[in-house]
Structure 1
């Protein structure tokens, strides 16, 4: 597909005829949470609220609510135990000690743990309204993946699907698997992020099952097969939130991780956050995802899936860019949405 400055996929509505939405999560360093909230507020309006030293909110903005949090479960648990309001007599010695402890903990954590900006679900056609905030954050000093070897920061997209039928979900999963290597190349995924467990690719055995031409699962089978091979959030395309939305009990019986939040979306975790790079913008990340959308809804998907399975037999498959070139050729044949 020839890239265009478009923000909406071919299928723009859900099966309930609502406009499809997408949540965005951006990990970054270099800015304090109050500075991040201030910049968001200048552009989108809204009211700041502080839940804890590790969790801030911007409520009722033009794009709904934003959550700014230090992305570390232990720190957030500590933060929940710390009061942020003063009592009538002002801060006593105990509060001063807590403040010092909190500052030290936060400053230490910020060396390794990103602040994360999390949006409400946004109508896909309104993503262009969000895009300008990232140059503003960069100008203020935001740092991304490549600023330091210890930064393995990412951008996550949580797109709603046009349908929650097993056949539709399978098509999107197949399209993503077929395009994974292409996406890694186009996103230039940072080496440090690749060697962390957080964006692990699907295992060969699962790929072979899902791409097999006779794989026509029911919803129960689709979920059970996924849980058998992927009982973890640590996949570059995390299906657990979606499957928990469809059948939460089935997922919770296998995956005990409280961080899995049920929602009717995919959880695409692959891209770097390159917010400190002048050429980087959300639009580029979104355009690459729209290519997955296009393939998921194109007649060429079964043929490409079969070709991908065949290419996996080649020992050099993981170390060659031939498949990415083949995907480029195929995308040129798909009419833009």
Structure 2
């Protein structure tokens, strides 16, 4: 185990329901390297062994936290790459040509994705060091080309799955969203893809009402009514599928929703080719959500202030909530 990086302080809720240090899964989208080069650089740093899973997937084995995965983030190609083909079969030749064409398009538009296992929070410094290795090897991120709508996503494990705790995270995230969005300075191409949409205003107003204290079935049903999509800056569907798969399935048929006891934070760009960029930048902003969620009196006061801001109508255009957040609702004024 490496020494914890001071760039990655721990949140106030540090342990999960079993009393172990909470974990975080990390997903980095990039191009500039082919799949084997990306896998080799990551495996060398992590002291893992590369095993091909398919033509478009590599598994890195040997990390005590679990397997890392390198894959082309294009579901159709991955499915085709897993199929066994017979060279003499004419149908397979046609399929191969179609696959080659898709691969040619994908090389320009579709990122490779490096996906970590759930890492103990005190290992996040290793992710930053790996980012440096990948940058030096030639990895490119969001700002390298206009078409690079690449993101960095991370999945903080929940400290528990009580409705009160989940609701506190939602309230805190909604209150801080404008500030987080301004800080992230999202690439325009990613904005146009709708992968990181904000929550609908009507749902925000419902959740930040201090009187909103639903039980778990109501919390999940309310969310699904207004957000039956993965395209949210904070995607709750993996957590809700983990807790109530039948309820989620009744509202969305999206097979890409993965069941896991985590939040899924999708907002940050992946600017891996920029010197000085690393996961610590988004992580330290995310910690403001963690601290606000864990501080019930401050959270309630912030919700009331944000509710009042939203009720100003046209008048709220005269004040910027992101600025009010910066001055009043962070742990320390910037």
TM-score (norm 2): 0.91
**Does the aligned pair in 2 maintain the 1:45–1:62 contact within 8 Å?**
no
5 Å-filtered alignment, 1:11-160, equals 11-61=13-63, 63-82=65-84, 102-160=99-157
User: Are 1:238 and 2:235 counterparts?
Assistant: yes
1:278 pairs with 2:278: no
Q: What CA deviation, in whole Å up to 9, does each residue of 1:221-266 have, x standing for no partner?
A: 0000000000111111100000111111111111111101110000
- Measure how far apart 1:314 and its partner are: 4.4
Query: Alignment partner for residue 301 of structure 1, among 299, 302, 316?
Result: 299
The more displaced of 280-289 and 222-231 is: 280-289
Q: Which residue of 1 aligns with 2:3?
A: none
- Partner-residue secondary structure (3-state), 1:67: strand
Separation in structure 2 between the aligned mates of residue 177 and residue 317 of structure 1, nearest angstrom? 20
- Do the aligned residues in 2 keep the contact of 1:58 with 1:65 (CA within 8 Å)? yes
CA deviation map 1:15-58 (0-9, x unaligned): 22121001000110111111111111111111111111111111
Aligned to 2:323: 325
Query: Aligned partners of 2:307 and 2:157: how far apart in 1?
Result: 28
Helix, strand or coil: the match of 2:251? coil
CA distance in 2, matches of 1:229, 1:93: 48
Write out per-residue CA displacement over residues 152-186 of structure 1, whole angstroms, 9 at most, x where no aligned residue. Answer: 11011110111110000000011001111111111
What SS is found at the alignment partner of 2:115? strand
Aligned to 2:208: 211
What's 1:225 paired with? Answer: 222
Taking the aligned partners of 1:315 and 1:107, their CA distance within structure 2 comes to 49
Alignment of 1:158-169 (within 5 A): 158-169=155-166
Corresponding residue for residue 263 of structure 1: 260
| Structure 2: stretches of 5+ with no match in the other structure | 1-5
Which SS does the other structure have where 1:280 is aligned? coil
C-alpha distance in 2 between matches for 1:109 and 1:52: 16
Q: For residues 98 and 58 of structure 1, do their structure 2 counterparts lie closer, same or farther at Cα, with a shift above 3 Å needed? A: farther
| In structure 2, distance between residues paired with 1:79 and 1:73 | 10
The CA distance in 1 between the partners of 2:315 and 2:143, in whole Å, is: 27
Tell me the SS of whatever aligns to 1:300: helix
Distance 1:117 1:222 in 2: 32
Aligned pair 1:251/2:253, yes or no? no
Q: After the TM superposition, which of the residue ranges 22-31 and 324-333 deviates more from structure 2?
A: 324-333
Between stretches 268-277 and 322-331, larger displacement belongs to: 322-331
* Aligned: 1:313 with 2:311: yes
Cα offset, 1:106, TM superposition: 2.0
Give yes or no for contact 1:294–1:334 (8 Å, CA) kept in 2: no
- Please, which of 175, 178, 181 is the counterpart of residue 175 of structure 2? 178
* Mapped contact 2:288–2:331 kept (Cα < 8 A): no
Number of residues paired by the alignment? 326
TM-score by length of 1: 0.90
- CA displacement 1:140-163 (0-9 Å, x = unmatched): 111111111111110111101111
SS for the counterpart of 2:52 is strand
Relative to structure 1, the CA distance from residue 227 to residue 97 in structure 2 (aligned partners, 3 Å threshold; closer, same or farther) is closer
Q: Which secondary structure does the structure 1 equivalent of 2:139 belong to?
A: coil
